[in-house]
Chain A
C-alpha cells in the first residue's frame, strides 16, 4: 500500500542551527557581521584594507581561503585584527568553521566583523554563516555581466560593491548596466562604486554599514 505524506518542510544547508546561534552571539555583543562574497580577484581583500583606514580597531576580519594566510597579513597590516581560515578543499565557509574560528579569535572591541568568504560566486551564496548581511563584491575588470550571470549571489546580497572603478578609463565596462542588472534581480539594491586603492567610495560604503548596524542594534534593544 502506498501512502503520500505532505511535509512542506523548508530545508537549509547544513549548519543553519549553528548560524542562528552565532547570530545571537554577535547581536549580544552589538557586532554587525558582513559576509563578503565575490569571485577570486574581485578585490574583496583590497576593499577590507581600504575599510581598515576608516574603521581601524572597530573592525575585525575572518578570512577564508583554500590556502595561505596572505589575506590575514594584508588586513592586519592595514590596521584591523584578523583570523585566517584555510578550507583546504572547500569552496565556501560554513557556520561551523566560523564558530571554531571564534575559539581562537577574540571579538572584544569589534563593532564590525567582516567575513571574507572563499573566492567563488556560487557556493558561498547558499550558506548562512551567522552574518547580518551578505555583500556581493564585483570588479569592473571581470566583466559587466557578472550580476546577470550569478543571480543567486545577487539575490541573497543586501548590497553590491563595484570595485576597481579607477580602471574604467582603460577597460570596457558599463557600470550602469551592472546596476540595472542587479536591480532587475533585487529592486532598489544599494550599489557602491569603489576604488579601494584610491580610497574612493569607501567612505560611503562604510557610512551605509554604520547605518545598517545602527538600525540593527536599535532593533535588538
Chain B
C-alpha cells in the first residue's frame, strides 16, 4: 500500500558548497513513512537546531530537499501538477507555533475559517458555511457566538490556537502537522489544545505529526516518536519505550532535563549538559559525540547506524553495537507501532 506520506532519503543542506564552513546540515538522509490506516500520532522531538522545523518546512513545500524526495501518496510534493497540489493542500493541514503571528490583525477571526470554505468550495450556502464553522468550533471547545466576529487581539493565545485547530479540521484533512502548537500557550491551556489534537486523531481519523521540544507532551499524545539531533535520528520507536526507558544518551539527557512537577527534586547536576555545539559540516562521527558522557573513539570517526534494540525501537548509538541488528535508515517505520493500543 502506498504510504500517505513518505520521506525518502531526504537531506537538506543550507549554505554553500562542500567546503563552505557555513554549510549546515539541517536534515541528513532522513527516511520515514506514515500510513493512513490506522491514523496515528507521530512525535518529532528535538532541541533548536535539531532539524525539526526544517522537516515541517519540507513538508509544507517551503523548502526543497537537497537530496531525496518528499512524497504524498506516492507523488513528489515538489513536482505535483495543479490538481494534485490542490488535493495535497486540502489533505494536509498545519498548525503553527505562534498563534499571534498567523492572524492578520485587520481581519476578524472569521476570515481564517471562511477563506478555506470559499477556496475549496466546502459549502453551497452561507447557512451551510456557518453550520460547518459552528461544528468545528464546537469540536475544539469554543462557542461560535463567543468567537466569531471578534478580532485576533480580543482573544487569548489559547483561543487563537484552538481556532487554528478548528480551521485545520474544517477541511477534514488526512494529516495535520502541528509545529510546537502549545509552546506559546499558557500551561493551563496546553492540556486543552493537546486534548483537541488527540480527539481529532481518535474521532476523525486524522494522522498527526506533532513537532515539539517537549518529551512530556509528546509522550502524552503520540504513539510513535522520533528524536532528532542535528538533523539525524538518534532514537525512534514506540513512545512508551522511548520516553519511559530512553536508550540513547541524548534522549536520556533530554529526559533528565525535563522539570517534573513532583515534590521530589529530580534535577541532578551532571556533565552532559554542556551547550549544543554545531558539528563541522564535514564531521563524520556521531553528532552527539562532543556532549556524550559515554563517548568512545569510534563515535568520533563514523556515524553510528540504527541498531534495532527492541521490536519497537531503534537507537543510533555504538553502545548497542553487537547486541542488536542494524536497520537500514529507510526502515524506521518497521519499529513503529501500527495500532493505537499497541
B partners with A: no
Question: Which A residues are closer than 8 A to B by beta carbons?
Answer: none
